[in-house]
A and B are shown apart, each in its own frame.
Chain A
Amino acid sequence: MPTSSLRSVVLLALAILLIPLALACGGDDEEEGPFRIGVMESATGPGETYGRVAIQAKQMAVDEINAAGGINGRMLELVVEDSKCSAQDAITAYNKLTDVDGVKIILGTSCSGAMLGAAPLAEADGVVLFSGLATNPDIANAGDYIFRTSMSDAQLGVDTGNLLWADGIRTLATITEATDYAEGVRRTSVAQFEKRGGQVLAAERYASDITDFRTQLTKLLATNPDALHVAAQSEFTGGTILKQARELGYDGPIYSDIVPVGTTAIEIAGEAATGVKAVIADIDPANAKGQEVLGQFRERYGYVTLAWYLGSAYDDVHIAAACLEETDDDQDADGFRDCLYDITWSGAIGDNYSFDGDGEVVGLTNVVVEVLPVSERTAENNGYRGLGFAPSE
């Protein structure tokens, strides 16, 4: 090997080795340092959209708290790690946060798979894991230190099933993305719909990388259902399905969850999305705090998407700050956990909500929305109008 190349390799390696040393020089003053809490979100990978919004909303909340003087005179600092929507990466991110950074309170994750990977460790170590976005129903049983402000997919499905029945839908066709979230929505929606007496005439599933749904939609629509139910994980596929269904001549009602009525989805679908009904967790237009947070986020980052999850991530930081104010110790995970069990919170995503014995959020309700015609869609109304709370019966 030429000497110059050898020298380059050695220099490269030394540069890599020097990264730790450079960092080691910047130690914090433990005595008067800030409260430090961990954040695990999908900064990259399949859940990147959710993760990015969550990280930005959390950072915005932290900046707000610090600008107001911090917590008991101390600043709040986030240590952010990428859990990539995967169990393995969640475990390494978790261990880095707990072993290296020494945090005892972690906000996250964006994805249920990552949450379920890290939850057993958190439970065993007595570390609080507090998510604003993970919705897999199995998380309810994950442990005493596991909390979330995101509502379970199981509840969303029950609400959707009830809505279908209340709207007079008796036969249904479903098209579903093969992901844990979308599958969960479809399964629980169909279960509730069938429990009420409805009948599913046909069901299709698709992989996340599919872009043409015409064949599946043609098969579904040939069964002549009263309505079509779309459960998607990505806004691109959700919007494309709405568009292609209308292009195939289907003019019947379409029901969905938050994803197919997201900003990107209805932009893709255009007029085809008009009239689509969705059961979603949404920030109440009458909730002044929620609207204020959305406005601040738009001003700071220049966009708003996944409004409710954005608000949920924002609220999580403020809830954490309230509990840190009470415990005055970011290493007191037990005190923090007890605080969460006792707390009743009013914030961006709702008023007077709390946590039950499983760490599940209670006091929040899904709402029904209907997508507006293109001419009436604005950044403020997110392209839809609210029709009230989801029917309980």
Chain B
Amino acid sequence: MELWANLIVLTWAVAFMLWQGVGFAITLGTVFAIWAILAVSLNLVVGFTGLLSIGHIGFFGIGAYAMAFLTSDASYEQLRTEAIPTLGWPFFAALPVSVVLAGVTALLVGIVFNRFRDDIFVLVSFGFAIIAFSVFLNLRSVTRGAFGIHEIERPAIGGWVLDGEVEFLVFALICLALVVLVCWLIVTSSFGRVLTAIREDEEAIAVFGYQVTHYKLAVWVISAMMAGLAGGLFGSWTTFIDPNSFILLESMLLVCIVILGGLATIWGSLLGAMAFVLLDEGMRFLPFIPSEFVGQARQIVLGILLVLLMLFRPQGLVGRYRL
């Protein structure tokens, strides 16, 4: 079955690209790369460690806002009462800050979250997503609140600005490859085996002298840093962000991607992200729908397809572990 799942998604991706042309595929490739980084990072926490977090979008937002605040050019702003300073940082100086800021935030909240497990952990991660959104909306001196921030910097190497879609896609895929590599090193190391043991029986592994809270906190922070990286990329790619990009629904979609691809498998997260992007964007090509209903029809069909996939593959496309 796993072979079939791989074949179907990959064939589908190639067919979609051949049918729609390379231009649109490049856009979808970038969306895929950003969602895949997020999915891989969340799978570390949910799949490998067994902590179901629905607050990951908060770290994604922190990374995006750090990138926006540090690199945007505020001279465009018409409402001077909502102005933020123009710091003019280059992308590659801001990106590490996005990553570190998300990590530091994760460390601080993780110290508290480590006290919780199972359904209570889900609830507190939900609370984090709500708080993060509220901060993005209300900390107007930094985020411009509902107005959002635009003119966010694209990556530049020397005088070469990666403002083309192809260049950005390549850069995003390199970032994805690095994240996958780090994730693979983690899950194949002794550290990763302890994480899996925590997922299976936290109390049993504690009996052997492992500091479970330290391991959970470490993977939580690493995962958040990856999400911060995805956020920095997202802000730079869209060049505009506002709090609507970081609502709880996005977090739920992210959990869906991880489950769709399969828990505790890196390849599953990549496959899940690819399948989701193809499903979501593929629905733009639904035939015979009157223009007035095209958006709604797309959402309904997407929802039905996701339900069907979960009916047939509750463990995900290539998953080995179920929540």
Partner-B contacts on A (CB < 8 A): 1, 5-6, 8-10, 12-13, 16-17, 19-24, 26, 39, 41-44, 46, 48, 51-52, 55-56, 59, 78, 80-82, 84-88, 91-93, 95-96, 98-100, 113, 116-117, 120, 124, 136-138, 140-141, 152, 154, 178-184, 187-188, 191, 205, 207
Contacts and interface: CB of A to CB of B under 8 A. Distances in A.
A22 B295 contact: no
B20 interface: yes
Interface string B256-290: 00000000000000000000000101101111000
Given A86-B245, A99-B24, A20 B150 contact: no
A187 B76 contact: no
Contacts of A80: 291, 294-295
Interface of B: 1, 4, 8, 11-12, 15-16, 19-21, 23-24, 26-28, 31, 76-79, 81-82, 134, 137-138, 145-148, 150, 163, 165, 234, 237-242, 244-245, 279, 281-282, 284-287, 291-296, 298-299, 305, 308-309, 312-313
A5 B146 contact: no
B137 A117 contact: no
A183 B19 CA distance: 44
Given A6-B4, A46-B244, A178 B146 contact: yes
The prevalent SS among residues of B at the interface is: helix
A141 B77 CA distance: 8
Contacts of A59: 291-292
Contacts of B313: 9
A66 B163 CA distance: 40
B145 A16 contact: no
Contacts, number: 168
A138 B27 contact: no
A96 B27 CA distance: 9
A83 to B, nearest CB: 9
Nearest to A79: B291
A23 B147 contact: no
Contact of B291 (A9, A23, A55, A179): A55
Contacts of A93: 284
- Looking at chain A's contact residues, is the secondary structure mostly helix, strand, loop, or mixed? helix
A182 B79 CA distance: 13
B16 A117 contact: no
A183 B147 contact: yes
Given A10-B4, A26-B287, A95-B27, A207 B137 contact: yes
B241 A87 contact: yes
Contacts of A13: 8, 12
Given A55-B291, A87-B238, A99-B24, A180 B146 contact: yes
A180 B148 contact: yes
Contacts of A1: 1
